[in-house]
Every structure is written in C-alpha cells, then in structure tokens.
Amino acid sequence: MKESTRREFLRTSSWAGLGLLTAGCAPKVSDFAQKPGRRVVVIGGGWGGATAAKYVRLADPSIEVVLLEPNREFVSCPFSNLVLSEQRTIESLTFNYDRLRAQGVKVLHETATMIEPDTRRVRVGTAALPYDRLIVSPGVEFQWDQVDGLAAAQDRVLHAWKAGPQTVELARQLQAMPDGGVFVLTIPPAAYRCPPGPYERTCQVAWYLKNRKPKSKLIVLDANPNLVSKAALFRAAWAAYPNIEYRGSNKVVKVDPGAREVTTELGDKVKYDVLNLIPPQRAGTIAVTADLVGADKRWCEVSHLTYESVKHKNIHVIGDSTIGLPVPKSGNIANAMGKICAVAVTSLLNDKPAPSIAPGNTCYSWVSDREAIAVVNSYKIEGGKVVQIEQKLTPGQSEAWAQNAVGWANSIWADMLG
C-alpha cells in the first residue's frame, strides 16, 4: 500500500465533499451470483462492518465489496442514552448508507441467513453470494432464556440496548411515569455490549427524575458485584443523585410483567412502574449458526492481527461478537477493528502479509445534561497478541469532556459512513 493511500486509509474522514448517490435501481442478491473478480462480503453495517466495507474500498478499489445490512438506516447506540433525558432525538443519531454507496460499496438491505465456509458462499434466502474473504460484524443477540418469563414478554419488557424504536418507547414510558414512581434498570453479567453504558444510562435517568419527577426513585439491579467500568468516576457523579439505589450482585432471574415485578437470584422481589431489563448477550445469530463461536457458545475467538476466525479460514469476525482480546465491546473498538481488518484482508488478497496494527479505544459517558467523563485505552502488538499499554481516566466530569464527546461522535460517524 502506498504511503499516501495508507494516510488516507487511517485518517478520519469528513462529510465535506461527499455527494449523495442518486437513487436508481436497487441491486439484488441475484445480481451477484457470479463473481467475476475478487470480492469481499461484509455481514452487518454497524460500527465495525460499515467501517470495514468502506476501508477495503479505500485500500484497494479493484476489490468488489458487498455489504449485507437488513436495516435501511444506521442508529447509533453511543449517545442514545441522551434520548432518555431528552437531550438528543433519535433522528439526530440516525444515518443512511448513501455516502457509503458513493464510496463504491454495494449495499444490499438483506439478511444473511447462512454461511457456507467450505464453498465460500453466504446464503440470503435461496440465493447464494460467493466471496473470497468474508467479514462478519453481527453485533450481539440477547439470551432471552436466561431470565425466566422474558422470552414470552419481549414485546412488553424493553431493553433499548439496540438503539431505535425501543429507545424512543423507553423515553416515552419514563416521561409518562408518575412522580413518585419507581424505575428499575437491570444490568446483565459481563461481558456485554458497552460496559459503561448501563451506568451512563443510570446517570441520564437519574438526572431526568431529579429535574422532572423529584419524588421518584431509580433502582439499579447489577448482576456484577461492582460497576464494571469507570467505577470511581460514576460513583462520584452519582453523589448528585440521591434518587439512585444501586444494588450490586443482584442478578435478575425472573420477570413478571403482569405483577410489574422482577426477582433476583437472592430471592428479592422488586416492584416497578417502568422496567428497563438489559438481557445477557452473545454473538449475533449468524455467528452462532456458522459455528464461529467458541466453547462458551457465546463469543468468537479470532486472530489478534487479522481478526480471522480460529475455526474457519477466510472468515474474519469483528466488533462486539469477539472475545479474547483485552479490549471492551465498544463502538470505538469496533470501528478500529474494521479498519485493521480491512488492511489485513486487502493485504492477504494481494498475497502480502498483514501488518501488525493495534486498536485504540476512547469512550465517553454523559453523567448529566452537560458533563461527561472518559477513558482512553492504548494497546500494542506483542508476540502476535494485542496487549494493553495503559488506561487513562479523566480526573473528573466536566463540560469540556462533553464537548470532546460531541466532536468524537461527529468524527467517527463520518469515518464509518462517509
């Protein structure tokens, strides 16, 4: 790869100068039944998949890139907690894929139903899509059966852990809750998507209740013994919210929507007016059905250098579905994995060794309507493995960090989809 191309590849893109693709005839899966040249198929158009699709094209425009994403719009999970406190709208977090198409990515709004590693094909219904390399970025799926009663109550018990309609509905329920009501938030055992996310959500709900419904209470039932991310910073922020009742080692094992009650493994029964139950999680369904997950049946083990599956050659897994690297399941990490995987895939398709590139992570959390905290993780490659060099936390919360968070979000959304 030329140095100028590498600089373009690794730099953060801006929206400026990117035109919208004129609407025309939408491509169909059947249009790609034949593979005249080299092709990379990407499953999942989120933080990792959209980034990987874009950067494969940037690294080598001669490679055809087909992205399979059933949703016509991308909705950002980072910043979605601010919808609950009415600081953001869901529309401000929603983006289409037009600019990705303008980069030459063939975006198909279809669901991958099966992966055939031996024949290097992805099934979409009855159609087959051949590939040279496959990048799988399926996000997470919920383990409904881990909480008694949850599978039958999916339409009534909100997780809002995939930003979109449930986020809006949870905000509506919070707004409609009577002053003096009880909001219950449950946190699953680690590992789960976005480790600090539930604690940021705690801050946003508590801030809203303090200012709009001061007689109300927020009960947090955490399956983990303590906060799993930014613990000291969050606890300092919670000092401003006496309406928070945090209970560690309180895994929820049963939900009864009729009685408006959850039960913990300690046998405690907790009543609620509004419930936000975040279920335990595993890799996305396509990763499970394709036998990409490990012995735990939850997460995918991959090479630290190329993100190639340890179980199936020519298939790379990125984002929240992976395990084994000392990195959090964050949007920033998925974005970094997408870039690194794109470099690796294009190198391998050009019969070159994949370079050793370590990811990086920055994660902001909003603790009020205008203040945020942050953590920065630095990594290196040592002995073929990703190793953490250091972790830095902000000394406290501030409006300056919140402003940095907005800049980070705008930059990374453009980097993914522009």
Tokens of 238: 């919670």
CB 47 within 8 A of CB 416: yes
Domain assignment present for 112: yes
The label of the residue with tokens 């989120």 reads 46
Distance CA 202, CA 158 (A): 15
Give the domain-ending residue among 341, 356, 371. Answer: 356
| pLDDT (average), residues 335-353 | 98
Q: Is residue 375 part of a domain?
A: no
Cis amide linkage into residue 191, ω under 30° from 0 = yes
Mean pLDDT in residue range 275-299: 96
Which three-class secondary structure state does DSSP give residue 274? strand
**257 C-beta neighbours (distance < 10 Å), count:** 17
pLDDT above 90 for 13: no
C-alpha dihedral, 246 to 247 to 251 to 256, nearest 10°? -70
Q: Which residue has the higher pLDDT, 23 or 260?
A: 260
Could you give the CA distance from residue 44 to residue 33 in angstroms, rounded to a whole number?
A: 20
| Global pTM exceeds 0.75 | yes
Last residue of a domain, one of 279, 302, 319: 279
Q: Residue 32 has which token pair? A: 């790609």
Residues 134, 190 within the same domain: no
Please give the Cα distance from 114 to 345 (Å, whole number).
21
The two structure tokens encoding residue 182: 């009880």
| Domains of the chain: total | 2
Residue 388 is assigned to a structural domain of this protein: no
Position 25 scores a pLDDT of 66
Count, residues in the chain:
418
Residue at which a domain ends, from 221, 250, 279: 279
Q: Any idea what the CATH number is for the domain that residue 164 is in?
A: 3.50.50.60
Q: How many CB atoms lie within 10 A of CB 357?
A: 18
Quick one: tokens of 146?
A: 């881990």
* 230 and 108 belong to one structural domain: no
Average pLDDT over residues 376-387: 98
Residue at 409 is within a domain: no
Pair 221, 318 in one domain: no
Query: Which range of residues forms the domain containing residue 191?
Result: 148-279
Same-domain check for residues 73 and 130: yes
pLDDT of residue 102: 96
What are the beta bridge partners of residue 264?
252
Residue-level pLDDT at 418: 83
pLDDT digits (tens, 9 = 90+) for 26-61: 788 999 999 999 999 999 999 999 999 999 999 999
Are 7 and 115 in the same domain?
yes
* 186 in a structural domain: yes
| Same domain flag for 235 and 128 | no
Q: Which helix (H) or strand (E) covers residue 374, if one does? A: strand 372-382
Can you tell me the distance from the alpha carbon of 362 to that of 195, in angstroms, rounded to the nearest whole number?
13
Residues 155 and 255 in one domain: yes
For residues 74 and 182, state if they share a domain.
Answer: no
